Amino acid sequence: MALNSIEHEWNGFAKMVFNGWTPSDVQVREMKKAFYAGAWALFTALQEIGEPHISESEGEAYLEARRAECLEFCRLLMAEYLERN
């Protein structure tokens, strides 16, 4: 797995989501804000995991729960994508 920038991940996400239609500049801008807000939320959580008051097992459980959450979101997104195409 490559460690990509948030911008790189956004570009791939936007390409997939906007496939087949041309969104307005406002739609792209607002969606990009939401994408970066999600990245920031995860980044701040990762910083918190490194703090002494978060045990290793709590950190692992949090990351696994976020992984499952993202996988479910991707599953739903792909199902929606396949319905459109």
Domain extent at residue 34: 24-84
Q: How many domains is the chain partitioned into structurally?
A: 1
Prediction pTM value: 0.76
d(CA 31, CA 55): 34
Quick check: 35 and 10 in contact, CB under 8 A?
A: yes
Does residue 3 register a pLDDT over 80?
yes
Q: Is residue 1 part of a domain?
A: no
Tokens linked to 32: 């990009």
**In terms of Cα–Cα distance, which of 38, 27, 46, 29 is closest to 69?**
38
Q: Is residue 16 part of a domain?
A: no
Q: Is residue 7 part of a domain?
A: no
Q: Is residue 15 part of a domain?
A: no
Question: What pLDDT does 84 receive?
Answer: 82
Cα atoms in the 13 Å half-sphere on the side-chain side of 72: 6
pLDDT digit string, tens, across residues 30-40: 999 999 999 99
Q: Is residue 49 part of a domain?
A: yes
- DSSP reduced 3-state for 68: helix
pLDDT digit string, tens, across residues 26-65: 999 999 999 999 999 999 999 999 899 999 999 999 999 9
